[in-house]
Chain A
């Protein structure tokens, strides 16, 4: 065995562990530089702040896991901030249900267009995102809307409350990651998802209803994006067609940095948890090192390229288009 193949083998062995090693290293570096960073209060508030993004990234994980992408996530979240604000006065807690259903439906449309009409997912989700953006503008009358404070607190106060020093957002994020983890690793749907991600033609050949599985994956992605929008809307007490702008890039980064490659099949929601924490640590370290907020997008764009290049499974791509 030559030394080059040796390194290749070693890298392949280390690769699955890279995300958490990266996270640990980042936490240590930032923790040493800024002693305030490791204070529990700071860590908890950092975690609570990232939860809406985390929920969107959880959803995105399913789209990427099957080898697709969901570029509509941000528009769906935007749309649900508007729906949540508008539906709250008349439907109360039912507003949450409407948001989630709207998200699932939009995602199912993306899935249908991708699988049945053979439109690549980056185009179909972009298009459905356009529809969602129009819908949000129509419903909001192109204005920023505000929730009635007392109504918000009585209906959705539980989302943003604090128990024993822990913000409730963390519980919500925790519940969702447990739920999606269960779905991914303990159900036949999860198994089927893995089969599709690992190799679609083989999954078809073995008799799986790949179309249905893929539609469900896109529906889940948009459904979770809707929950992210709902939570964000409650946090900011309002909604607008552009409220969640800026979520898409970090959500994709979180999934890929976590170790779910663009080619799908490996990784999963726990990886996305780690990836989101990496994003959170990078963000707060940029604040500490006084990196201008205007540089953040560039930094995350470059991280995205690096993460894709490191994780992508090139044996699956016969031709890189």
Chain B
């Protein structure tokens, strides 16, 4: 009993402790790390990743996985940019309608994703991976490989306008984090994610429409990917097929490192915030102390393996595919 308690307590607090240790470590290595300017930099790189990671958090809580984010983010970014420019190119005009449009596109892509997974009974990792390829392909089709520039100053103020040292996009991300938290704790849908992840057959037996919950989960994830896409476009002012690249690896790593178990049922959006910060502090810190940027993928790879290993209760898992 005692060992179970320590294990659970450890798992619950380990991510936060890791984050604090990392911050202290990098600050000790290089004092410039511990500055408002640098924290703002971490915030800027974390904001889009956080949105995508929160989206996939809901899916992972259900015990499924979504690998479609790269395609979905690209499609949302490109559709947004085209619509935004076509409708006037500034937030002060009707072009603001491109914002809800992007969210709608995200929801539709997620809906299709969920339907492919649930109706065709294809395991989610493969259904979503394939849909991700389709999404990237679709974004490529729309742009023809070109970059679409979004230069509206009002929209770019997501990055340029700062409150207390942090750009607006960080506050937008925070707002959506709270929305995610609200969905997770205060809505039936949010509770149902945990029910499905905790034991699908039990959830089904107690009268829950599991398929509906799954499809809604993928839709919700799609909306968060769209928010991530908007912030990503706001950050660099460009929408292209490659807008979504790298989000898959980073977001999955963040969620798992944050302590949401791949097996479903535990964790949540706050874990994901910690996870995203851990990943981005590592990325930023490595550059600040002078390590080359390309070690990131390798470090993330080791990190995700370590996190899955630590969060797996070896007694309850017999074999994995």
Interface residues of B in 49-98 (CB under 8 A from A): 63-65, 67
B130 adjacent to A308 (CB under 8 Å) = yes
A113 at the interface (CB under 8 A from B): yes
B63 adjacent to A297 (CB under 8 Å) = no
B321 adjacent to A134 (CB under 8 Å) = no
A134 adjacent to B296 (CB under 8 Å) = yes
How large, as a class, is the contact surface on chain B?
35 or more
Interface residues of A in 289-321 (CB under 8 A from B): 292, 294-302, 304-305, 308-309, 312, 314, 317, 319-321
Provide the bound-state CA to CA distance between A292 and B64, in Å.
34
Provide the bound-state CA to CA distance between A130 and B252, in Å.
13
Tell me how far the C-beta of B220 lies from the nearest C-beta in chain A, rounded to whole angstroms.
17
Count the A-B residue pairs with Cβ separation under 8 angstroms: how many?
161
Q: Which residue of B lies closest to A63 (CB)?
A: B321
A204 adjacent to B319 (CB under 8 Å) = yes
Provide the bound-state CA to CA distance between A257 and B312, in Å.
34
Stretch at the interface among B1-9, B22-30, B118-126: B118-126
B297 at the interface (CB under 8 A from A): yes
Given A114-B320, A200-B319, A305-B116, A321 and B123 contact (CB-CB distance below 8 Å): yes
Chain B, 7-46, contact with A by CB distance < 8 Å: what is the 0/1 string? 0000000000000000000000000000000000000000
Provide the bound-state CA to CA distance between A128 and B304, in Å.
10
Set B144, B201, B299: member contacting A319, Cβ < 8 A: B201
Interface residues of B in 269-320 (CB under 8 A from A): 292, 294-302, 304-305, 308-309, 312, 314, 317-320
Provide the bound-state CA to CA distance between A136 and B214, in Å.
38
Chain A residues with CB under 8 Å of B264's CB are 321
B305 adjacent to A294 (CB under 8 Å) = no
Chain A, 64-99, contact with B by CB distance < 8 Å: what is the 0/1 string? 001111010000000000000000000000000000
B137 adjacent to A120 (CB under 8 Å) = no
Given A130-B301, A204-B319, A118 and B296 contact (CB-CB distance below 8 Å): no
Chain B residues with CB under 8 Å of A123's CB are 252, 256, 262, 304-305, 308
A300 adjacent to B133 (CB under 8 Å) = yes
Interface residues of B in 242-265 (CB under 8 A from A): 248-249, 252, 256, 262, 264
B122 adjacent to A309 (CB under 8 Å) = yes
Provide the bound-state CA to CA distance between A120 and B67, in Å.
14
Interface centre among B120, B134, B305, B308 (most CB of A within 10 A): B305
Chain B residues with CB under 8 Å of A138's CB are 292, 294-295
Provide the bound-state CA to CA distance between A296 and B136, in Å.
11
Chain B, 210-244, contact with A by CB distance < 8 Å: what is the 0/1 string? 00000000000000000000000000000000000
A50 at the interface (CB under 8 A from B): no
B131 at the interface (CB under 8 A from A): yes
Provide the bound-state CA to CA distance between A302 and B120, in Å.
13
Tell me how far the C-beta of B240 lies from the nearest C-beta in chain A, rounded to whole angstroms.
13
Tell me how far the C-beta of A306 lies from the nearest C-beta in chain B, rounded to whole angstroms.
9
Set B116, B300, B318: member contacting A130, Cβ < 8 A: B300
Given A130-B297, A319-B200, A262 and B137 contact (CB-CB distance below 8 Å): no
A209 at the interface (CB under 8 A from B): no
A296 adjacent to B137 (CB under 8 Å) = yes
Interface centre among A300, A304, A321 (most CB of B within 10 A): A321
Tell me how far the C-beta of A315 lies from the nearest C-beta in chain B, rounded to whole angstroms.
11
A126 at the interface (CB under 8 A from B): yes
A271 at the interface (CB under 8 A from B): no
B295 adjacent to A130 (CB under 8 Å) = no
Chain B residues with CB under 8 Å of A309's CB are 120-122
Provide the bound-state CA to CA distance between A146 and B152, in Å.
42
- Interface of B, secondary structure class, is helix
How large, as a class, is the contact surface on chain A?
35 or more
B156 at the interface (CB under 8 A from A): no
Interface residues of A in 33-76 (CB under 8 A from B): 66-69, 71
A137 at the interface (CB under 8 A from B): yes
Chain B residues with CB under 8 Å of A131's CB are 297-298, 301-302
Tell me how far the C-beta of B305 lies from the nearest C-beta in chain A, rounded to whole angstroms.
5
Given A127-B304, A137-B294, A301-B130, A320 and B137 contact (CB-CB distance below 8 Å): no
A294 adjacent to B130 (CB under 8 Å) = no
Tell me how far the C-beta of B147 lies from the nearest C-beta in chain A, rounded to whole angstroms.
14
B301 adjacent to A129 (CB under 8 Å) = yes
A69 adjacent to B126 (CB under 8 Å) = yes
Tell me how far the C-beta of B250 lies from the nearest C-beta in chain A, rounded to whole angstroms.
10
Chain A residues with CB under 8 Å of B200's CB are 319, 321
Chain A residues with CB under 8 Å of B298's CB are 130-131, 133-135
Given A119-B305, A122-B65, A308-B122, A68 and B321 contact (CB-CB distance below 8 Å): yes
Chain B residues with CB under 8 Å of A113's CB are 305
A249 adjacent to B124 (CB under 8 Å) = no
Tell me how far the C-beta of A261 lies from the nearest C-beta in chain B, rounded to whole angstroms.
11
Q: Which residue of A lies closest to B292 (CB)?
A: A138
Residues of chain B whose beta carbon lies under 8 Å from any beta carbon of chain A: 63-65, 67, 116-118, 120-127, 129-138, 140-141, 144-145, 200-201, 248-249, 252, 256, 262, 264, 292, 294-302, 304-305, 308-309, 312, 314, 317-321
Residues of chain A whose beta carbon lies under 8 Å from any beta carbon of chain B: 66-69, 71, 113-115, 117-124, 126-131, 133-135, 137-138, 142, 200-201, 204, 210, 249, 262, 292, 294-302, 304-305, 308-309, 312, 314, 317, 319-321
A sample of 23 inter-chain contacts (CB < 8 A) reads A117-B308, A118-B309, A118-B312, A120-B262, A122-B65, A123-B262, A127-B300, A127-B305, A130-B249, A134-B296, A142-B294, A200-B319, A201-B318, A294-B141, A295-B141, A301-B132, A302-B130, A305-B127, A308-B122, A320-B122, A321-B64, A321-B123, A321-B124
- Pairs of residues from A and B, 6 with the lowest C-beta to C-beta distance, nearest first: A298-B137, A134-B298, A130-B301, A297-B137, A301-B134, A137-B294
